Amino acid sequence: RLLLIRHGETDWNASGRYQGQMDIPLNEAGVEQARILGHRLRNELSRPTEPGAPTGSIDAIYASDLARAWQTAEIVGAACGLTPRPEPRLRELSFGEWQGLTYQEIGERDPEALAAWNHDRVNGRPPGGESLGAMAARVSDLLDDVRREIRDGNVALISHGGTIRVILCVLLEHPLATYWQFEVDNTAIAEIEFCTFGPVVVRWNDAHHLTDLRRQDVF
């Protein structure tokens, strides 16, 4: 099984800025989200028969080496008694010259390049950035390596919204051009089970733990 988990919130998330591969840390809310996520996973793993919980313990955590994902992974790993493994192939799509800008700002500064990218995101790329096709190739390589290394275990991949969408497209053979159809919230969990006939989405965008942000017993 794979648990696909997005990092906690950053200031750039809150302001709607393209982060790409810029090394933006979690903000205070993001740290708290990660702590609550770790608490949830620790409790689920100690009660594997609880509805909605993954079957068995997590055997390994792989995480993007960008700060926001790596911080999230360290917090979750500490809660679950695991040391995350840094994995650059889990990085977000590189948006090149557009990193740090909002969609509106990109449209105002670079309308022709934005229109071209929107027309063909699979093969096209932002100026100085990366195409979805290239991203799909690197995450496919990663998935092959993970499945070879941990054939029957449960693995958490802590990454980014775009990366998780592309992973799902790769696993389900969903068109990359419509990867945006999958919602991925901060610290949300997606669970993928590999069965005889292929991968099955067991749960998606599960972030109900964030409703517990103000509870006093979560820590």
Active site residue 7: yes
Chain centre to alpha carbon of residue 33: 14
**CA angle, 153 then 154 then 158, to 5°:** 140
Range list of β-strands (E), the chain: 2-6, 60-63, 85-86, 155-159, 189-195, 198-206
Among residues 9, 32, 87, 92, the one annotated as catalytic is: 92
Residue 67 burial by Cβ neighbours in a 10 Å radius (0-12, 13-18, 19+) = middle
Strands 189-195 and 2-6: antiparallel
* Rounded Cα–Cα distance for residues 36 and 41 (Å): 9
Alpha carbon distances (Å) from 143 to 120, 155, 158: 25, 11, 13
Among residues 7, 39, 160, 209, the one annotated as catalytic is: 7
Q: Which residue has the tokens 């096709």?
A: 133
Active site residue 92: yes
CB 10 within 8 Å of CB 32: no
| Active-site amino acid positions | 7, 92
